Amino acid sequence: MQNKILSRIPKKSNLGSGRATAFSPVDPADDHNPIVNILNNGQRTFEEGITASASSDQAGAVVLSNEKNIIATVGSAGDSVKLDTIFGIGAEVVIVNSSGTSMDVFPALGGNIGAGVNTAVAVAGGTTLNLLRRAVADTFIAV
């Protein structure tokens, strides 16, 4: 069961009515909720030593769920990673390919990171891809 964070945002506004207001749980995956966006943007996560998947496709790619990601091992050109769906609007995702081999970065299923829906972007060995999450569902732009 996914943990929920209780917010102080009422389900509906009863300001000035004198009635009690119920508070709704906040789903951490709901990127349309401003509280979730604040939580996601305030959280800085990091992982290093990641190995790209030899599957070379979106379905089998290693999922990146951190804002800062260092891919240390890319066995063959085209090995792949993909973004998770957890990033809120305005989140910045950094993907460092510290290997000497080019790899593919896919968006989350149905997403777009600049090459088209569900299409990978190649990241050369020794380079960094900086992405910014837009307001459009699962769409990122390179920055």
- At residue 45, the pLDDT reads 85
Tell me the percentage of the chain whose pLDDT exceeds 70.
Answer: 69
CA-closest candidate to residue 9, choices 21, 19, 23: 23
pLDDT, tens only, 47-91: 999 999 999 899 999 999 999 999 999 999 999 999 999 898 999
Among 26-35, 77-86, 89-98, the least confident range: 26-35
Strand 92-97 with 68-73, pairing: parallel
| Count of positions (residues) in the chain | 143
User: Could you write out the DSSP letters of every residue in the chain?
Assistant: ----EEEEEESS--TTS-----EEEE-TT-TTSHHHHHHHHH---EEEEEE-BTT-STTTSEEE-SSEEEEEE--STT-EEEE-S-PPTT-EEEEEE-SSS-EEEEPSTT-BSSSSBT--EEE-TTEEEEEEE-SSTTBEEE-
Question: What architecture does CATH give domain 45-142?
Answer: Sandwich (2.60)
Range in 33-47, 56-70, 92-106 the model is least confident about: 33-47
The Cα 94–Cα 46 span in angstroms is 9
Evaluate if residue 25 carries a pLDDT over 80. Answer: no
Q: What pLDDT is recorded for position 94? A: 97
Q: What is the pLDDT of residue 15?
A: 41
List the single range of 21-30, 70-79, 106-115, 117-126 with lowest mean pLDDT. Answer: 21-30
Give, in order, the Cα–Cα distances in Å from 40 to each of 14, 19, 50, 81, 113: 28, 32, 22, 21, 19
Tell me: pLDDT of 12 over 90. Answer: no
- Nearest of 81, 68, 67, 10 to residue 39 by alpha carbon: 67
pLDDT at residue 2 is higher than 80: no
Average pLDDT, rounded, for the chain: 78
